[in-house]
Amino acid sequence: MAIVAMSEAARQIQLKLLEAFPDEAAAIIPKMHKLHPPQPVLYDGPRDTPDKKLIFTFVGNEFYRKGGAEVVLAFSELAEEGLINADTVEVNITGDLNNRYNIAHGKYQDEAAFYSKIEQSLTRYNIFTHATSRPNSELIALFKRAHVGLLPSWQDTYGFSVLEMQACGCPVITTNVRALPEINPDAAGWTLACPLNAMFELTVASVGDKIALRRLMVAQLKAQVLAILADRASVLSRSQNALRRIETHHNPARFKESLDAIYALAR
């Protein structure tokens, strides 16, 4: 028998759960392994960073859980402050605005007025292009032309869309929940630092917690966007490093070899 965790965060969570079962833990822990999922490189062309417009891309069917609202708030505030416009920034957003329930918020869900504000901002500012969904081929095409991906997620078990964006040479801005800092290190992307609990997740125990975390995410996202606009070379270096880490850590052939080795140990 073998137990395979797809990230170090997942492995650590398993170890914490086993603390309640010390007798079983002694037998299980030696059988635990960590193996990140495979991801082939999808596009290794150089990421051009033009003097004018930079393209940002967000994808999340569960729009609010994946941080879609925080993306809209950050870019809307930057536009309102006169720091960006449609000549300097394009933000492609793919996500279902009707998927309002955010599991990370628990019983402290947002109110109708908040959802209306987000939807109005999407139509008010011409930097945004929104689609409820896109076929996968169209998403991959977006990733190939985008300069920066966006996933300021409130809750994620892994973050597979990050791997797809990186595999297209598109570095990503993410939060630091669960496996995201493992697959999106500083050299390959940008991280929004948020306080985490013992399970590597955000704690929303009140409306105040939710508001404070949202403001922290939005403030950091705005700062990252402005820093990227001021230092476009950072996009090229992270694009190259993102591709390298996909080739190194998610190579399908190496994944198969590692999985075969785990199976061999379990026989």
Mean pLDDT of the chain: 95
* Residue 47 predicted with pLDDT over 90: no
* Residue 49 predicted with pLDDT over 80: no
232-265: per-residue pLDDT in tens? 999 999 999 999 999 999 999 999 999 999 888 8
174-214: per-residue pLDDT in tens? 999 999 999 999 999 999 999 999 999 999 999 999 999 99
CA distance 239 to 39: 16
* Residue 52 predicted with pLDDT over 90: no
What mean pLDDT is predicted for residues 101-112?
Answer: 97
Read off the tokens for 65: 């859980």
78-98: per-residue pLDDT in tens? 999 999 999 999 999 999 999
What mean pLDDT is predicted for residues 23-34?
Answer: 89
Contact indicator for 157, 178 with CB cutoff of 8 Å: yes
Query: Where residue 267 falls among pLDDT bands split at 50, 70, 90?
Result: low
Read off the tokens for 78: 């930057």
What mean pLDDT is predicted for residues 87-116?
Answer: 97
* Residue 38 predicted with pLDDT over 90: yes
pLDDT at 18: 92
Ordered domains of the chain (ranges, CATH): 3-38+251-266 (no CATH), 54-245 (3.40.50.2000)
8-27: per-residue pLDDT in tens? 999 999 999 999 998 888 88
* Residues forming beta bridges with residue 192, ordered by sequence position: 175
Instruction: Give the pTM.
Output: 0.95
